Structure 1
Amino acid sequence: MGMVLCAIIGLSLLVLAIRDAFLVNRLRRHGLRTEGMVIDNVRVEDSKSGPSWVPVIAFTDNLGYRVEFAPQARGAGLGLSVGRRVGVIYLSHSPHKARVRTWRHLILPMFWLSFAAIAFLGTAVLIVLTG
């Protein structure tokens, strides 16, 4: 049972990592670049790691609409102070999927999803080999 659960979780995380890789690739090839501003930091409660602060970034898309988003990448070293201007990249048909245009914010989510997928899939293999 543990092997099946680890395999399902690992495969699910791998699918999410691949999906994120495709999004980042589309952003790099077809994304529109603009500048946004950090307008707020909101407190987010996490039952495992406790409260953290997530920046809210606002920018104007190519149609002139104001878009606000919170970066997907969160954690130590990824915070952004209110009032800071940041580069933003987004797809014209889905500006709500915008990302901060830095290596950390573009690549780290995919990296951590891949790492977690490998850990779960590796655990599933270990369970099979030792069981």
Structure 2
Amino acid sequence: MAKTVVGILLCGLVGLLLLWVGLHDAVRVRRLRQHGVRTAGTVVDNVRVDSNNGPSWAPVIAFVDHHGYRVEFTPRMRGSGMGLATGREVTVVYLREDPQTARVLMRRHMTGPVYFMLAGALAFLCGVVAIAASA
């Protein structure tokens, strides 16, 4: 009984946290689409990123913000189909007050993190239902 309650609480808390992160990111994407500054960026490098799933490559994108400063960032979404070739020109969108919010203006880079977080939240919240139903 105690293990069931702990399982429900842990899965519920993780599910709610992922839901909050996903919704927060969705609001950011909406702000970027509505109020973001669009500019040209260039993929200047691809760096190796080690994770639990093994190594992958992440593009490093550089652009010049509205103040004339060079900004570099690495997109949050990585993995198969997310790579960008070095030297490729891409459209970048960022919030004027925070150029570090930059994202590549492609559907997979804009909404991918949102869908990933919301899918994780759904999985954990379904886990809560499954644990409660089996108790």
**Quick check: TM above 0.5?**
yes
Take 1:43 and 1:8, find their aligned partners in 2: how far apart are those partners? 32
TM-score (norm: length of structure 1): 0.97
AA aligned to 2:60 is V
Matched, 1:15 2:20: yes
Residue 55 (structure 2) pairs with residue 51 (structure 1): yes
1:96 to 96, 100, 105: 100
TM-score, normalised by the number of residues in structure 2:
0.94
Which residue is 2:117 aligned to?
A: 113
Report the residue type matching 1:64 in the other structure: G
- Percent identity for Structure 1 against Structure 2: 50
Which of 28, 41, 49 is the matching residue for 2:46? 41
RMSD of equivalent CA atoms: 0.6
Offset from partner CA, 1:82-122 (integer Å, 9 cap, x none): 10000100001110110000000001110111011000001
Question: For the pair shown, which has the larger CA radius of gyration, 1 or 2?
Answer: 2
CA–CA separation in structure 2 for the residues paired with 1:114 and 1:97: 20
SS in 1 for 2:45: strand
* Number of residue pairs aligned between Structure 1 and Structure 2: 130
Q: CA deviation at 1:15?
A: 0.4
* Structure 1 residue 125: Cα displacement: 1.2
